[in-house]
Chain A
């Protein structure tokens, strides 16, 4: 999903910076990001709907990617931040002493060590984006409607189409189920990463 990769692209460098080169406001920025998740989404529905309408993003895939990225970004940054925090700074400094530049340090040392964390964040975010219903239903109609909106359309004023609703719902579960099946080892390792030294 576009939003996941876009979010990771933004989140990895920012989490990196927060974990390894913290400034005076880093803690506050993190708390502020978390606080954005505390507001009920319906509270900002109307302004966002109006913004989307003005910029012509309603019912477009680009709009969908943007909104899904924005709503999941705080969680992703938080998750990555905690994973990166687990990596001992000594090891990065050792790499620097061994002659590695910033690029090599990130490529050969940091990324391989953070892979479980990055992978579980990726999977979690795909699941979150896939299951997200509130914004998708409200901001799309037909052109860019994802599965959630599609399923919701079976519950219409003309009545509930139970058979179709159930079939579509089960179909919707399938990709996540299969992906989860293959990635469960990574996911569990990622979620418990650093729990025990």
Chain B
């Protein structure tokens, strides 16, 4: 069991209100990702769930029991920190054994569990080493091992991959996803990287300034963002926004189109622009286009061998079925124009 519910949770540091009011329900076995720009309160929210931070008001329920006043040690949650937070004076074995030692589990059982965790995480050869003798990826694995060894009811990850290099990050992302499939335990994952959120989550919670903007599955957020912030935050490269006369045609204040929903042509189209930077990713190419009628830069996805280069004139056509319309408050309008 690992269901977590936040009811009307608020948090202030002195006079600064970090989280105005939040309600979240996390079901058992879900992989939930909190995502948002830095300073949006996502880590604070995670620390509130962990019990490392008190709530100013509201209720935190774990497994349908009120846990608001419980100390972190009694919540049966495990956390993986951004800085790994390994105990530097203990070997890997002792690091992983620490939660078991605190739970007063007998030595034979401890060894059995450590061996099995080490096997899952490929740490068997490193058990006697100190954290300082390990690479970043290995340290992260030890931190995860320390979390899974005591079989908690939920895992909390606080930006666990941001200290790793790009290749390792992709690898660990897969490993964590696999671990979730294997263990089936609830996981709450905090990140500012929307790619991590998109690839790993069952459910994404998008936060801005302590307010939940939208909750939904990755594809829901991608296809049906409820406002301009979510539309711009989810997806990479980000959505193009157009205002003014183009938007008026669709009876909206602002329209948004993703780079892959724009077709390009040399001869005709709705918009005319000049190609700026051309980014080749191998499979795709992204063109940065300055449009003639507006001072907005648009990003357009094109085939790998499109032949466009810096300074070329280009015509763009927006895919009408995939245009997102927003009113003057940035809220999405869903009925047809």
Contacts and interface: CB of A to CB of B under 8 A. Distances in A.
Interface in B69-126: 71-73, 77-79, 81-83, 85-89, 98-99, 102-103
Interface residues of B, number: 23
Contact of B150 (A88, A99, A100): A99
B85 A94 contact: yes
B52 A93 contact: yes
Q: Which of A93, A99, A112, A113 has the most CB of B within 10 A?
A: A99
Nearest to A24: B14
A93 B102 contact: no
A94 B131 CA distance: 15
B89 A96 contact: no
A163 interface: no
Interface residues of A, number: 17
23 contacts: A88-B83, A90-B81, A94-B79, A94-B85, A94-B87, A94-B146, A95-B87, A96-B51, A96-B52, A96-B73, A97-B52, A97-B73, A97-B78, A97-B79, A98-B99, A98-B146, A98-B150, A99-B73, A100-B73, A101-B71, A112-B89, A113-B87, A113-B89
B144 to A, nearest CB: 12
Interface in A110-128: 112-113
A96 B81 contact: no
A113 B88 contact: yes
Interface of A: 88, 90-91, 93-101, 104, 108-109, 112-113
B89 to A, nearest CB: 5
B89 A93 contact: no
Interface string B49-79: 0111000000000000000000111000111
B81 to A, nearest CB: 5
Contacts of B78: 97-98
A88 B99 CA distance: 19
Chain B binding site: helix, strand, loop or mixed by DSSP?
A: loop
Contacts, number: 59
A93 B43 CA distance: 14
B71 A93 contact: no
Contacts of B51: 96
Q: Which 4 A-B pairs have the closest CB atoms?
A: A99-B102, A94-B85, A90-B85, A98-B99
Given A91-B88, A93-B85, A113-B87, 14 more contacts: A88-B83, A88-B85, A91-B86, A93-B79, A94-B86, A96-B73, A97-B50, A98-B98, A98-B99, A98-B150, A99-B73, A99-B102, A101-B73, A112-B89
Nearest to B104: A99
A108 B89 CA distance: 10
A167 to B, nearest CB: 45
A104 B72 contact: no
Q: Which of A94, A104, A113 has the most CB of B within 10 A?
A: A94
Nearest to A111: B89
A105 to B, nearest CB: 9
Contacts of A113: 87-89
B77 A91 contact: no
